[in-house]
Chain A
Amino acid sequence: MNVREFRHIGKEMTERPELRRFLSGQGRYIDDFALPHMLHAAVLRSPYAHAELKGLATAEARSLPGVAGIFTAADLGPAPQPIPVRLNPYATLDPYLQYPLAAGRIRYVGEPLALVVAASRAIAEDAAALIAIKATELPAATDALADPPAALFPEAPDNIACRFTDGFGDLGEAMQEAEEIVEFAFHTGRHSAVPLEARGLLAAFDPGRRRLDVFGFTKVPHFNRAVLARMLGLPERNLNIVVPDVGGGFGVRGEFYPEDFLIPFAAMRLGRPVKWIEDRLEHLMAANHSREQHYAIRLGLTRAGRLLGLEVQLVNDMGAYMRTHGVIVPELSAGMLPGPYRFTAYRCDVRAVMTNKTPTGTYRGPGRFECNAARERLLDVAAARIGIDPAEIRRRNFIPADAMPYRLGTHALGEEVIYDSGDYPAALADVLARSGYKANRHAAHVGGPRRGFGIGCFVEKTGKGPYEGARVALDPSGVIEVATGATSLGQGLETMLAKVVAEALFQPPERILVRSGETGLLQFGGGSFASRATVLAGNAAWQAAQELAGRLIGAAAGRLGTTSANLHLVPGAVAAADGNMVTLSELARGADPLGPELAVTVYFPAPHMAYAHGAVVASVEVDPALGRVLPLRLWVSYDVGTVINPDIVGAQIEGGAAQAIGGALLEAFVYDSAGQLQSGSLADYLLPVADFVPPISHHDLGRSPSPLNPLGVKGAGEAGLVGVGAALANAVADALGLPAAVDRLPMTPERVWRWAQAVKAAA
């Protein structure tokens, strides 16, 4: 497929209109909304990791002046409903779902026990502190690899909620053929997205009309509306969802959480608007965690470095409940673990283990940050075993460009993994050349501070279906408007859609009005996750705008007394070859409700995902005495198909890379053996800052548009993240000179110091 030429698509658009409001404090985030007679909520959360809840003594709290209501599990009615799984909802996961408030068993620190609503947030928090929790503590299961001291659920005495297997080929035969067997264990720590804005919600109920306004759903508003309507027993269309500006999403924000039921429920019960704003401690113990995985790997290969069999035992620490993602994180790991390489046979056995820690879900690049790091580390260990350069073992095993489309033989997100296009060897060659890998790595090993270079290659799934919609319309004032069910999480959705529609309608992108997320805009909507907005909403808008172009020209033909063939769109008008024209405003004013509507809705389907890819080189400096790792520089070469706005894609690559730096070197949710969260502040859970993130140079290869959609796009939201942890881990191992030492992320100073001691001992 050839790379196409466009007028707006692929060109830089600076001074993007959607950014203007944020520069002067005019963004409208959830805590910026207020309604008359509004009350404020605080959540009473469990201080216990595992306990039998015997009761809550609320009398003193209820008597505090200003308290409007206190809700416990008993107040939710005789048959409260659990929060359902959104993606791949297997019925076998049902026993492990979370209810909005704990009843009977408490399973993690931070689990909601009661909701307090009061005249101010301060009073609500004061009242929550007056509630006495009567509970009998149980031993806490905190280590998914250890024999559990207690079962969380009667359905799983061993705490294993789910087992499944993915893979292809005859593993026994492949291992038989192997001349070398490499065994390697790898672990990734518990991280989360930690957006700068914590969560929040504002709900208002009109009892006369039984209408509910909800401000603050973000990622998947249509799905959340359906869940909430069912749980509250309201017709779905009686719920009006308002999506505010959002201070970062990254997969964590906007899933259906307990509070997403509790706040609207309280607003209905009390007949007044109720607002809840999460504080940072709450966020760190209440919003989804992710990434905690344990790999035990056996790799069979030839002495020439040809990969044969890959056998993996994967344990995914699920935390205390199955949340809306079910087990898709380990499914993605198992489905994507082979990455850009050919194996003769592969088998991954997954165990999803329940523990007394915060429940888990997806965080940008879910399952792939982890599996890419495990695989890329493994390849470095294997390369060292047979005595070839890390780059060389990769070159010898890449799936070649002429094998595309390539049926990998695994599954991810409920569909077969079929790589649609890509030139994996080219990405590695590009990043090696740009980083001066060979010469610089050699120089790094000669004397001086301990420096190292590491490679991380990746394939990245994008554009998850089943569909997204876009409605492109000429509004009554003559402005072109595009509405979509995808939501803006700060990633540049407005610019992307404006440019796509501008391209199809020959208008300046600045003149296109973009509306997103709100459930009133379109009947159906998917939302923004899985790097899908550009692939699905972008192509839906493209097709809708092209059809609208035909209708506009048709309407103009009637006005100008000519045929459509003589007309074309120009900025603000439809023009004839002779210079006659009718403006879009005139067309809008003269729109005939009995004629063809000057609005087109398209739902773009995606039965298969599009796969981006890339390669990363990281250089680091390691201080063996202090265990400190300084990232010195990152190089990323990537291909995400057609690029709509290079500046936005580059920003996604940089931002993703910085998050991976955090995940690889700094960020860790630490629990003690009693299940107490030890990292409940941003002083304990460390995020990368400006003088820690090194220069990130990135290059768009731009040679592999997706054949699966008309624009040829692939998603770019996660591609910047998924290979960087791998590259940093390999760079640290390279700097230490002990290829197999680095067996876990994050590479905290204590761990690096221990590895360095092992190096010393070996010397």
Chain B
Amino acid sequence: MTEPSASPRPIRVSVNGVDHERTVEPRLLLSDFLRHDLGLTGTHVGCEHGVCGACTVAFDDQPVRSCLMFAVQADGHRIGTIEGMADGETLHPLQMAFWELSGLQCGFCTPGFLITARDFLARNPDPSEQEVREALSGNLCRCTGYQSIVAAVLEAARRLRQAPLAGLGKS
């Protein structure tokens, strides 16, 4: 085992199904790695202390706050970001429902909500409104007052129950 050191080290990360090899400083946040090293700027940084949820990504299919992880911790793991949610030009049912029901205004929190909601619906395909509200209560939105977001997640859940394969994204 080597001593902890600040010197850059190589990592290999699969993001949205594509392998990336980079050499990074140990203090580089996973969020900054995705945004600035890989150019995947759809993952947003709202607080850098794990409260707002805007930076949520899928880490081996689990939603995590990428601002609370270092890039080196992702070495050898799979990351899913908002850029991998649609299937080409075909939006994921959650994205479609957010669009149709205007579950967004400025769009800054949206990627975090979508990643969180995708994981939630995978575990709970037929949630109550209250369950949706609780599941989303770790993500902050300052524009919508959440009404349209909750409605969009419930609508997406309904559609996914009818066509479950539509929800398979890359990650």
List chain A positions with a Cβ less than 8 A from chain B. Answer: 14-16, 19-29, 31-32, 34, 122, 193-198, 245-250, 279-280, 489-492, 647-648, 651, 654-659, 681-683, 687, 689-693, 695-696
Contacts and interface: CB of A to CB of B under 8 A. Distances in A.
30 contacts: A14-B100, A22-B106, A22-B107, A22-B110, A23-B86, A23-B91, A24-B85, A24-B91, A25-B81, A25-B82, A25-B83, A25-B111, A29-B41, A31-B41, A32-B41, A196-B44, A196-B143, A197-B46, A245-B106, A245-B107, A248-B142, A490-B106, A492-B105, A651-B102, A654-B145, A655-B105, A690-B149, A691-B130, A693-B145, A693-B146
Contacts of A689: 136-140, 146
A29 B137 contact: no
B134 A280 contact: no
Nearest to B143: A655
Contacts of A21: 107
**Which 6 A-B residue pairs are closest in the complex by CB-CB distance?**
A25-B42, A22-B107, A490-B106, A247-B108, A658-B145, A654-B145
B44 A197 contact: yes
Contacts of A19: 99, 102, 104, 107
B43 A25 contact: yes
Contact of B104 (A22, A279, A691): A22
Contacts of B52: 196, 682
Given A197-B108, A682-B140, A31 B102 contact: no
A681 B144 contact: no
Interface of B is mostly: loop
B108 A196 contact: yes
A81 B143 CA distance: 35
B77 interface: no
B14 interface: no
B110 A23 contact: yes
Contact of A690 (B42, B91, B107, B139): B139
A31 B35 contact: yes
B27 A490 contact: no
Contacts of A490: 105-108, 143
A654 B132 CA distance: 18
Contacts of B104: 19, 22-23
A489 B109 CA distance: 14
A707 B129 CA distance: 42
A246 B106 contact: yes
B96 to A, nearest CB: 8
A682 B53 CA distance: 11
Nearest to B136: A690
Contacts of A195: 106, 108, 142
Contacts of B148: 651, 654
Contact of A29 (B91, B108, B132, B142): B108
A11 to B, nearest CB: 15
A667 to B, nearest CB: 11
Interface of A is mostly: loop
B24 to A, nearest CB: 12
Given A690-B150, A696-B145, A196 B91 contact: no
Contacts of B147: 654, 693, 695-696
B48 interface: yes
Nearest to B98: A23
Contacts of B142: 193-196, 248, 250, 655, 659, 687
B46 A654 contact: no
Contacts of B110: 22-23
Nearest to B132: A690
Contact of B86 (A24, A245, A659, A683): A24
Contacts of B71: none
A320 B104 CA distance: 35
Contacts of B35: 31-32
Interface in B26-66: 27, 35-36, 40-49, 51-52, 54
Interface in B96-123: 98-102, 104-111, 114
Interface of B: 25, 27, 35-36, 40-49, 51-52, 54, 81-83, 85-86, 91, 95, 98-102, 104-111, 114, 130, 132-134, 136-150
Contact of B133 (A250, A648, A651, A691): A691
Given A279-B48, A690-B150, A248 B106 contact: yes
Contact of B137 (A31, A654, A692): A692
A547 to B, nearest CB: 32
A24 B114 CA distance: 10
B44 A691 contact: no
B46 A23 contact: no
Given A22-B107, A196-B52, A651 B144 contact: yes
Nearest to A489: B106
Residue from B41, B82, B83, B114 whose CB has the most chain A CB atoms within 10 Å? B41
Contacts of B99: 14-16, 19-20, 23
B135 to A, nearest CB: 8
A28 B43 CA distance: 11
A248 B44 CA distance: 13
B110 to A, nearest CB: 5
A307 B101 CA distance: 44
Nearest to A492: B105
B102 A682 contact: no
Given A248-B143, A689-B137, A691-B133, A651 B105 contact: yes
B46 A280 contact: yes
Contacts of B51: 681-683
Contacts of A489: 106
Contacts of B85: 24
Given A16-B99, A24-B42, A689-B139, 10 more contacts: A22-B107, A23-B86, A651-B148, A681-B51, A682-B52, A683-B49, A689-B140, A691-B134, A693-B145, A693-B147
Contacts of B150: 690
A20 B49 CA distance: 28
A659 B43 CA distance: 24
Given A14-B100, A23-B91, A696-B145, A280 B105 contact: no
A24 B137 CA distance: 22
Contacts of B46: 196-198, 247, 280
Given A196-B52, A196-B141, A683-B51, A23 B114 contact: yes
A196 B54 contact: yes
A647 B102 contact: yes
Nearest to A17: B99
Contacts of A655: 105, 142-145
Nearest to A495: B102
Given A27-B108, A196-B108, A651-B148, A690 B41 contact: no
